[in-house]
Structure 1
């Protein structure tokens, strides 16, 4: 009987303490949480970037979140993007990614997930993460990639950087097979 009394005493003495800990824990969580809310959200966007009256790129996405109110502002595309890039002759390069972030100050796009870049003439590169420097029209990744073309040639390995039209490519440790152009 004495043990039951001690247990009841401890429970009644510790219960307010435990409840106050829960309350304090939630307060601490709220204090430590950063106000990381977007300034705005846009659904089903179709953005066209023009320069001197010519369309340079088109970005299509089901959802964009705008965090440009932060010190290092960015736009997030949590449901993926489809990007169409136009060169000076009007040739198109297409880029698809499951997730993307566009950093406002650097004009760098970070594409993630199943990333695929392909051209009208049949060149294609796939990887799990790809960065695109919009100012220099240059792509790069440190992740594993695979590049193929219409001739059946391929190149694969970790790390590559290349021009938007694939005319200039720098690789680190790649391997592949180059077939004769027909």
Structure 2
């Protein structure tokens, strides 16, 4: 039964969700409050008080972690689109860090985008900022509008 409602079908306080596959921890999701609108005509899950997601990549004996935090999040069930808002921070497996006020993540396409100012700090002390980001989730195919870049060049004697 699909309805349009201003009320969630369920609420979870102090959520800790662990996703495993073949005995390996793949992700954890934490949030002080999760609201489930799965009975809505366009189902979604809301984290009105913030979210923290940790995604684990295991390769042999090595496990790397990406951490995503935001003040607010909505996950749209049918489209697999995630909308992160407020103090969005993503720390990648290599230590590079994204900062922004909003970020959309298309889980099906593995694509991220924002039309809000953002900054990315890279592990080599370089930095990229801009007004628009349209990229694959690994940031290897990125389009940045109105970009400002700061590159750290290591002196030869270091």
Mapped contact 1:141–1:160 kept (Cα < 8 A): yes
Q: Which has the larger radius of gyration?
A: 1
Bigger relative contact order, structure 1 or 2 (CA pairs below 8 A, ≥6 apart): 2
Q: Are 1:172 and 2:145 counterparts? A: yes
After the TM superposition, which of the residue ranges 50-59 and 87-96 deviates more from structure 2? 50-59
Partner of 2:65: 92
Which of 44, 47, 69 lines up with 2:14 in the alignment?
44
Richer in strand (by share): 2
Relative to the length of structure 2, the TM-score reads: 0.84
Per the alignment, do residues 59 and 75 of structure 1 end up closer, same or farther by CA in structure 2, a change over 3 Å counting?
same
- Aligned mates of 1:79, 1:128 — CA distance in 2: 15
State the distance in 1 between where 2:80 and 2:19 align.
13
Judged with a 3 Å threshold, the aligned counterparts in structure 2 of structure 1 residues 81 and 129 are, in CA distance, closer, same or farther, namely same
CA distance in 2, matches of 1:164, 1:54: 22
Q: Which moved more, 1:164-173 or 1:42-51?
A: 164-173
Quick check: 2:112–2:136 contact (8 Å CA) kept in 1?
yes
Conserved 8 A contact 2:129-2:148: yes
Displacement of 1:52 in angstroms is 4.3
Bigger helix share: 1
Cα RMSD between the aligned structures?
A: 2.0
Question: Is 1:117 equivalent to 2:87 in the alignment?
Answer: no
Residue of structure 1 in register with 2:118 after alignment: 145
- 1:61 and 2:31 equivalent? yes
Say how many residue pairs are matched. 149
CA distances 1:109-146 after superposition (whole Å, capped 9, x unpaired): 10001111112432011110011122233221111101
User: What TM-score results when the alignment is normalised by the length of structure 1?
Assistant: 0.74
Answer yes or no: is the 8 Å Cα contact 2:16–2:30 preserved in 1. Answer: yes
Q: How far apart are the structure 1 equivalents of 2:10 and 2:51?
A: 18
